[in-house]
Amino acid sequence: MPNPYVIEPHWANWMLVLEMFVAGVAAGTFLFIALANLATDRSKVSATEDQDVAARAGFVPLPLMLLVGLILVVDLGQPLRFLNIVVRSPLAPERGPLPLMFNSNSPMNWGTWVIIVFGLFATVAFLDALWHRRVFRGVSLVEALSHNPIWLAVGAIFALATGAYSGVLLNVTSQNVWGDTFLMGGLYVAFSALSGMAVAAIVADRAGARRTAAAVQNALFWFAAVAGVLLLLFVVNLAVAGRVTLLLADLDLLVAPAFWIGVVGLAILYPLVTYWRGGPVRVKRTGSTTLAVAGYDLGRLAIVGAGVLLGVLAFRYVLLFSALAAVT
């Protein structure tokens, strides 16, 4: 039974679906970049391949985060005042005395600062990508940072926070579905990581980096599994709260179809099944500690990645619009 007492906050719109999707992709891609640099194989070829793919992927987070920022500002009722969320307006003295705006009770404030800091990491990644293309050779600090494990780890943390905060934000409301659970932060970060790995799949495949592709395929499977477990827990949580039909059976606004086909089908089952059936990158054991790429269906991993991205987009749609479907 839907909660009938609330007003839908006008967040169920395509711009915000896109924003959440894009932010998740940006964050997830950075996570991939960090993982690729941190967990890369010491073997020379793999390492080069990994770093090359990571560097290509480095082009992704910054433009997407700029788009995120733009959408978030444009979506506001008063876009020109967007700085009030960062710099405390003198007309709001009660939140003082610091000149910067931070309401520790508001996930939106947490999130704002998180994505600002993450933006810094995305910028460095972008510059690094340019460096690798020999377009920009300006600051050698960029290269140093981009491969520094501490920088990457911290960046990964902010990337994960970026991926998670929207879910926490939605949880801290009274809305149907969103407010009925506290699992959405985890759910969001899982799907964010999944979408990032899907991007990596596309980039690796297009670059023909077989060894990186093998690793990405592996990670894609595991992230899909984690996301799948969290999704299941989420559904159970909703069932306990009595709101699960909103997700599973509500034809209003096509929420249920998008859930089953997009989220469960494309985002979760597709990569799992693909991997279980051997995956586009076939790996075989060549020694006790060595593997080799035994077969590689060029282009297929990219398709899986694209499918997963579509599924994650559907996920963003379902989560946002399910609250709207409940009140209309």
Partner 1 sequence: MTENARGMFVDTSVCTGCKACQVACKQWNEIEPGAGPIPMTDEKAVVEHRAFTGDSYDNTGHLNAYDWRHVKFIEQIGPDRSTSDRTGARWLMMSDSCKHCEQAGCLEVCPTGALYRTQFGSVDIHQDVCIGCRYCVGACPFGVIEFNKNTGRVNKCILCQDRLEQGMSTACAKACPTSSLTYGKVDDLKRMAADRVRALHARGQTDAYIYGWDLGNSGTITAGPNKNAAVKDMEVVGGLNVFYLLMDKPEVYSLPSAPSLPQRNFAPSAGVSLISAAVLGVTGLAAFRRRRMTDAAVTAD
Question: What's the min distance (Å) between Cβ of 19 and partner 1?
Answer: 12
Which one, 81 or 137, has the nearer CB to partner 1? 81
Q: What is the helix (H) or strand (E) element at residue 223, kind and residue range?
A: helix 210-241
Question: What's the min distance (Å) between Cβ of 242 and partner 1?
Answer: 13
Which one, 146 or 212, has the nearer CB to partner 1? 212
Which one, 84 or 261, has the nearer CB to partner 1? 84
Which one, 124 or 160, has the nearer CB to partner 1? 160
Which one, 73 or 261, has the nearer CB to partner 1? 73
Question: What's the min distance (Å) between Cβ of 136 and partner 1?
Answer: 27
Question: What's the min distance (Å) between Cβ of 139 and partner 1?
Answer: 28
Side chain identity, residue 166: S
Question: What's the min distance (Å) between Cβ of 140 and partner 1?
Answer: 27
Question: What's the min distance (Å) between Cβ of 255 and partner 1?
Answer: 17
Which one, 186 or 305, has the nearer CB to partner 1? 186
Output the six-digit token pair for 1.
């039974």
207 close to 53: Cβ distance less than 8 angstroms = yes
Question: What's the min distance (Å) between Cβ of 273 and partner 1?
Answer: 17
Alpha-carbon torsion (44, 212, 133, 116), positive or negative: negative
CA–CA distance, 144 with 47 (Å, rounded to integer): 16
How many CB atoms lie under 10 A from the CB of residue 320? 22
Which one, 142 or 187, has the nearer CB to partner 1? 187
How many CB atoms lie under 10 A from the CB of residue 295? 12
Output the six-digit token pair for 152.
């990457």
Question: What's the min distance (Å) between Cβ of 65 and partner 1?
Answer: 18
CA–CA distance, 156 with 151 (Å, rounded to integer): 8
Distances (CA, A) of 307 to 1, 55, 131, 225, 304: 33, 23, 31, 16, 5
Which one, 13 or 63, has the nearer CB to partner 1? 13
Which one, 107 or 119, has the nearer CB to partner 1? 107
For residue 7, what are the contacts with CB-CB under 8 A and spacing of at least 6?
327
Q: What is the helix (H) or strand (E) element at residue 267, kind and residue range?
A: none
Q: Answer left, alpha or beta for residue 98, where phi above 0 means left and psi between -120 and 50 means alpha.
A: beta
Output the six-digit token pair for 320.
């946002």
CA–CA distance, 190 with 287 (Å, rounded to integer): 33
Question: What's the min distance (Å) between Cβ of 299 and partner 1?
Answer: 11
Side chain identity, residue 27: A
CA–CA distance, 301 with 299 (Å, rounded to integer): 6
- Residue 93 DSSP code: G
